[in-house]
Amino acid sequence: MKTGGVILEKIGMIESLLRKSREKPMTFRETCVYLGIAPSSLYKLTHKNQIPHHKPTGKLLFFFKDEIDMWIAGKS
């Protein structure tokens, strides 16, 4: 890979990290509304680790919109 390609790749990674640091995670309910699915369906997806989610305290579930969008597009 040429130097220019490496630099562009690194810039892309930095932009992605900056977007994630500014993004507020969605709650469980917000994610249900965003996806248009019932809470029971979202619980099943998280239980089976089929959808990207975060559980920082071991109790509450949080979701990042960009990760959900990538999951919808089949890229995660």
Domains of the chain: 24-76 (1.10.1660)
Give the lowest-confidence range in 2-6, 17-21, 39-43. Answer: 17-21
Give the lowest-confidence range in 11-20, 27-36, 56-65, 67-76. Answer: 11-20
Bridge partners of 26? 63
Q: What is the pLDDT of residue 18?
A: 66
Per-residue pLDDT, averaged over 40-60, amounts to 95
User: Residue 21 — very low, low, confident or very high, per pLDDT cuts 50/70/90?
Assistant: low
pTM over 0.85: no
Residue in the structure block whose two tokens are 């998280």: 46
Closest CA to 60 of 16, 15, 26: 26
CB 62 within 8 A of CB 54: yes
